[in-house]
């Protein structure tokens, strides 16, 4: 499936993983816990966890350094974005 080693492939994989994980957590947690309202900030922090596993898999196991770097770039950007959002209390219209 993944035969090419490229930065763009890693960036795309990192973005898709973050978005899919956030969506799954956003809709799954209220189904499991009826009275627990998940703070959205924690969902965004948890959304980078699969990126870390895929980064390691592409970087070490498959020896796709460029793809691993692309995933790492997305992971760092998302993590820093969430930290700035938490630190400065930025409000977003879509949330």
pLDDT for 93 equals 47
Rounded Cα gap, residues 60 and 69, in angstroms: 11
Mean pLDDT of 7-26: 88
Q: For residue range 70-95, what is the model confidence (pLDDT) as tens digits?
A: 999 999 998 888 788 777 766 654 54
Q: For residue range 33-47, what is the model confidence (pLDDT) as tens digits?
A: 666 555 666 777 788
Rounded Cα gap, residues 78 and 95, in angstroms: 16
Structure pTM? Answer: 0.77
Instruction: Report whether pLDDT(16) > 90.
Output: yes
Delimit the domains of the chain by residue range: 7-88
55 Cα distance to chain centroid: 11
């Amino acid at each position: 499936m993944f035969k090419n080693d490229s930065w763009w492939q890693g960036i795309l994989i990192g973005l898709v993983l973050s978005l899919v994980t956030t969506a799954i957590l956003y809709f799954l947690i209220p189904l499991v816990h009826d009275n627990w309202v998940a703070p959205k900030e924690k969902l965004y922090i948890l959304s980078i966890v699969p990126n870390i596993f895929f980064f390691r898999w592409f970087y070490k196991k498959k020896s796709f350094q460029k793809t691993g770097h692309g995933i790492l770039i997305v992971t760092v950007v998302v993590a820093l974005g969430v930290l700035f959002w938490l630190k400065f209390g930025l409000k977003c219209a879509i949330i």
